[in-house]
Amino acid sequence: MSATIKVHLAGQLGQFALNAAFEVPARGVTALFGPSGCGKTSVLRGVAGLLHLRDGYCSIAGDVWQDAHHFRPVHQRALGYVFQESSLFAHLSVRGNLLYGAPKQAQDHVIRFDDVVALLGLATFLDRAPETLSGGERQRVAMGRALLSQPKILLMDEPLSALDRLTKDEILPFLERLHESLAIPVLYVSHDMSEVERLADHLVLMRAGQVMASGPLSALQSDPSLPLVSSQEAAVSLDARVEAYDAQDGMAALAVAGGRFLVPSAPLQIRASQRLRVLAGDVSLALAEPNESTIVNVLRAKILSVQESGAHQMVVVLGLGEDGQGARLLSRVTARSWRLLGLMQGMSVYAQVKGAALVRKAAPPRS
C-alpha cells in the first residue's frame, strides 16, 4: 500500500479542457497552485466526487475512490471539505454544525470534539447561530465541522480568499497549528503564493487545466524551468530548526540543510521547526567572504544554474554548502554584475542574505 495521493482527472467542462495528473505523498500540506480559472477547484471537486469526470482515477493512501469502473459517491468518501465561503447550515447552531458529520459513537472519534474546539478557539460561541458570527469565526467552524467528520484527507478550496487581510492573519495561525498537530494530509487550493509559502510542504503547479509540475515546495520554487523563479516575488521556503536563541540581541539561530541563519525573532523554543522565507532579491553574491558588513548571514554556496529573467537580470539557483548539496537558494543579480564578477555555473560563492523572514509567527492566542 503506497501512502500517496494519486489523482488523474480528465474531461471537458464546457469550454474548458481539464487533464490533470499528479501523485504526492499522503502527508503534510499539498498546495494546488495556479492562476484563477486554471482548474484547481475542479480538481479538488473531482477528488471529493462532487464533480464526476468519466475519465478519472483517484486514490488516497491505497484507497481507490474512482477508477475506470467504480465511482464512490461523495458521502462514502472519508474526506473533509472546506469551501471558499464557510457554508454553515443556517438552521443549526455552531454546535449542531460541528456535530453534523461526526460519528454517533464517541469512541469512533480519533479527532475529539473538545480538542477541535480548543484548537480552533470555538468555545465561546458554541451555542450561537451561524449568522451571528464574523467571517473568520464562521470559517473556523467550517474547518472544525470538516475535521469532526473524522476525515482521512482534508480538502480546502481557497478557505481564506473570501476574507479580508486582518481576518486572514487571524486564521492562518490556526491552519498552521492544524498542520502541526494533526497527521491528516491536506490538499489546499490557492492562488496566493504567500499562503502557499507559509503552509505548503508540496506543490502542484497548475496552468490551463494541466499540471506543470509537482513536488516538494522548495524544489519547485528553485526549479529554473518553472515560471516561479522569474517572478518579481521569487523566493524559497526553507525548513529550519531552531538551534539557539539569544535573548539579549533578540536573535535566533536556525539550521537549514547546508547552512545556518541568524534572524531577529521573538523568543523561540530550541529544536522547534520553523520556516524561513528568503526572497531572490535579498540575496547577493560575492567571490570572497566580506569582512566588515552589516549583513549578518553570509553562507557558502555553489552556483547550480542560472537563468535570464527580464531585461538585464539573472536569477541564480544556489545550493548551500561548499559542495552545493544543501538547501536551494535563489539570487537575483544584474547581468552586469554577473559579467564583471565572471560568475559561472559550478562556481563556489558567498551568498549574502540581506533578509530572511520567519513565515510562521508565534502561536495564536487561544480564545
Partner 1 sequence: MAGLSAEIWQSVFLTLKLATFATLILLALGTPLAWWLARSKSLWKEALAAIVAMPLVLPPTVLGFYLLVVLGPQGPGGALASLWGARTLAFSFTGLVIGSVLFSLPFVVQPIRNAFEAIGDRPLEVAATLRASPWRVFWTVAVPLASPGFLTGAILGFAHTVGEFGVVLMIGGNIPGETKVLSVVIFDYVETSQWTQAHLLSAGMVVFSFCVVLAMMLIEKRMMRRAS
Q: Is the CB of 92 or the CB of 213 nearer to partner 1?
A: 92
Half-sphere exposure of 367 (CA within 13 A, CB side): 13
Nearer to partner 1 among residue 19 and residue 87 (C-beta): 87
Name the segment binding partner 1 (CB under 8 A); options: 28-36, 84-92, 199-207, 219-227.
84-92
Which of 40, 138, 140, 145 binds partner 1 (CB under 8 A)? It is 145
Instruction: Check binding of 101 to partner 1 (CB under 8 A).
Output: yes
CB nearer partner 1, residue 114 or residue 131: 131
- Written as nine digits, the cell of 31 is 498546495
Nearer Cβ to partner 1 (187/229): 187
Does position 91 interact with partner 1 (CB under 8 A)? The reply is yes
| Binding of partner 1 by 113 (CB under 8 A) | no
Give CA–CA dist 327/241, Å, rounded: 13
3-state secondary structure 135-151: HHHHHHHHHHHHHHCCC
To partner 1, the closest distance from the beta carbon of 136 in angstroms equals 18
Judged by CB under 8 A, does residue 69 bind partner 1? no
- Helix and strand element counts for the chain (H, E): 8, 20
Q: Is 75 in the site for partner 1 (CB under 8 A)?
A: yes
**Closest approach of partner 1 to the CB of residue 145, in Å:** 7
Put residue 251 in one of left, alpha, beta given phi > 0 → left and psi -120 to 50 → alpha: beta
CB 299 within 8 A of CB 320: yes
Burial 288-300 (b: 16+ CB within 10 A, else e): eeeeeeeeebebb
From the CB of 147, what's the least distance to partner 1, in Å? 11
Q: What are phi and psi of 160, to 5 degrees?
A: -105, -5
| CA 364 distance to own-chain centroid | 18
Chosen residue from 94, 146, 193, 200 binding partner 1 by CB under 8 A: 146
Q: Let me know how long the chain is.
A: 367
Q: Tell me, by CB under 8 A, how many residues bind partner 1.
A: 23
Task: Report the residue number, 71 or 350, with the smaller CB distance to partner 1.
Answer: 71
Among 253, 257, 315, 322, CA closest to 282 = 315
54 lies in the binding site for partner 1 (CB under 8 A): no
Q: Is 104 in the site for partner 1 (CB under 8 A)?
A: no
Question: Is residue 89 part of the contact set for partner 1 (CB under 8 A)?
Answer: yes
Q: Does 48 bind partner 1 (CB under 8 A)?
A: yes
Nearer to partner 1, 49 or 321 (CB): 49
Of residues 112, 141, 113, the one with CA closest to residue 125:
141
3-class secondary structure per residue, 301-343: EEEEEEEECCCCEEEEEEEECCCCCCCEEEEEEEHHHHHHHCC
The yes or no reply on residue 300 touching partner 1 (CB under 8 A) is no
From 70-78, 114-122, 204-212, 269-277, span contacting partner 1 (CB under 8 A): 70-78
Handedness of CA 161, 120, 41, 199 (dihedral sign): positive
Q: Which residue of 100, 112, 287, 334 would you call a contact of partner 1, by CB under 8 A?
A: 100
| Beta-carbon-side half-sphere exposure of residue 116 (alpha carbons within 13 Å) | 23
Sketch the per residue contact string, 320 through 359, with partner 1: x for CB under 8 A, - otherwise.
----------------------------------------
Say how far apart CA 241 and CA 254 lie, in whole Å.
5
Nearer to partner 1, 16 or 100 (CB): 100
Given the rule CB under 8 A, which of 9-17, 87-95, 237-245, 258-266 is the region that contacts partner 1?
87-95
Contacting residues toward partner 1, per CB under 8 A: 48, 50, 73-76, 78-81, 83, 85, 87, 89-91, 100-101, 131, 145-146, 149, 155
